[in-house]
Amino acid sequence: MRRAVLAPPVLSSVVPQQGVRTGGTPVTLTGSGFGGATAVRFGTTPAASFAVLSATRIDAVTPPGNGTVHVTVSTAGGTSTQPVTFTYVTAVLPSVTSVTPDRGPAAGGTPVTLAGSGFGGATAVRFGTTPAASFTVVSAARIDAVTPAGSPGPAAVTVTTPGGTSVPQAPQSYFYYLAQPALSDLSPDRGPAAGGTPVTLAGSGFAGATAVRFGTTPAASFTVVSATRIDAVAPAGSPGPVAVTVTTPGGTSNSLTYTWAPAAVLSDAVPAAGPTSGGTIVTLTGSGLTLTGTVAFGGDSAAFTVVSDTLATAVSPPGAAGTVAVTVTTPGGTSNGVPYTYVPPPDI
């Protein structure tokens, strides 16, 4: 009976490709056919330790060494022959020269790029005393990391390698955690569905605001007056309530409610006439009357009572003989006009 012939493993890469001469650098070997690996060597020296994670990955720790050596993997099928190398370098203290971006929300989760030197074999990246949520050593001069959660304020970013831990240098090796913005007031908190209402937002953490939204719709415009105030212009929207939020590099705020009010519509005024001396109780019917702010007979304001969304009563003010338009103004705007006629007293 013929035995199956096992192929030797294939080694395609070692990451990182360099580390200190004293050994101890964690490296990842990728390739194929690693199942049952019996040895990992750096030159002729066995790895300090290794673990076969799968047929395509081995995690190993380098032994001491010098210069550039070939890395090999041995299994029952033989030893890899690909020209994959690892270079031993003199231990140097890593240095972080920039963090990009250098600010983000205190909740963490910001992808950042660390530039500097001596990153080969990095074993830790910390923001203050907190380990990065994750990090990848791209090269001896670059690490890609994800920030952990932190407290608002500056945090020193450090990299640890077998050569030691970098020394923080302000401001280039600092990350600034930003507080999440908070909304406390909207004034006014309603306006016409057509948009265009100037709205003042009060709160905290507004510095660097990148967006103000009414629901999912961006404000027509906004100006960051200070860290506690934003002046915005409401966009158009459908009648009804909507959540207003502020977004900054620190995150998105809580929401406050703004209401797009429908425009009032008047259909009738009964009675449609009264004396020039005023004092006539006039019943107004229509729609959208709940938020009535003023009732006018021509240019004169009248006392009024809102009975329902479709009914209001008003007391006609004195006026000159003739016909005027009765209108209702709400946060949704000014309604159409219905006629009311002032009748002069009879001649005696």
CA dihedral for 140, 146, 148, 153, sign (positive or negative): positive
**Fold observed for domain 95-178:** Immunoglobulin-like (2.60.40)
- Report whether pLDDT(232) > 60: yes
pLDDT band at 7 (very low <50, low <70, confident <90, very high): very high
Read off the tokens for 10: 């294939």
- Report whether pLDDT(247) > 60: yes
Rounded Cα distance between 175 and 152, Å, is 10
Rounded Cα distance between 3 and 40, Å, is 26
Q: For the domain with range 10-89, which CATH number is right: 1.20.1250.20, 2.60.40.10, 3.40.50.2300, 2.102.10.10?
A: 2.60.40.10
Nearest-CA neighbor of 11 among 36, 35, 29? 29
Neighbours of 93 (CB within 10 A): 13
Read off the tokens for 311: 């009914």
pLDDT band at 345 (very low <50, low <70, confident <90, very high): confident
In the beta sheet, which residues pair with residue 198? 233
Q: What's 265-343's CATH class?
A: mainly beta
Percentage with pLDDT > 90 across the chain: 83
Question: Looking at domain 182-261, which CATH architecture does it have?
Answer: Sandwich (2.60)
CATH 2.60.40.10 domain position(s) in the chain: 10-89, 95-178, 182-261, 265-343
Rounded Cα distance between 108 and 10, Å, is 39
Rounded Cα distance between 274 and 284, Å, is 14
Q: What is the CA 79 to chain-centroid distance, rounded?
A: 51
Residue 68 has a pLDDT of 95
Rounded Cα distance between 112 and 157, Å, is 11
Rounded Cα distance between 10 and 16, Å, is 18
Taking phi first (over 0 means left), then psi (-120 to 50 degrees means alpha), and beta for anything else, what does residue 161 get?
A: beta
What is the chain's Cα-based Rg?
37
Q: What is the pLDDT of residues 312-338, one digit of tens each?
A: 999 999 999 999 999 999 988 899 999
Could you give the dihedral angle defined by the CA atoms of residues 229, 231, 236 and 239, in that order, rounded to the nearest 10 degrees?
A: 50
The mean pLDDT of the chain is: 94
Q: Show Cβ contacts of residue 165 under 8 Å, excluding neighbours closer than 6 positions.
A: 93, 94, 124, 158, 159
- Report whether pLDDT(119) > 80: yes
pLDDT band at 166 (very low <50, low <70, confident <90, very high): very high
Q: What is the pLDDT of residues 8-26, one digit of tens each?
A: 999 999 988 888 888 888 8
- Report whether pLDDT(5) > 80: no
Residue 2 has a pLDDT of 58
In the beta sheet, which residues pair with residue 59? 28, 51
Read off the tokens for 193: 């569905």
Rounded Cα distance between 316 and 17, Å, is 90
pLDDT band at 121 (very low <50, low <70, confident <90, very high): confident
Rounded Cα distance between 93 and 166, Å, is 6
β-pairing, 45-46 with 39-42? antiparallel
β-pairing, 103-105 with 85-89? unpaired
Nearest-CA neighbor of 260 among 328, 327, 332, 157? 332
Sheet holding 49-54, edge to edge: 10-15, 26-32, 57-61, 49-54
Cβ contact 12:30 at 8 Å: yes
pLDDT band at 44 (very low <50, low <70, confident <90, very high): very high
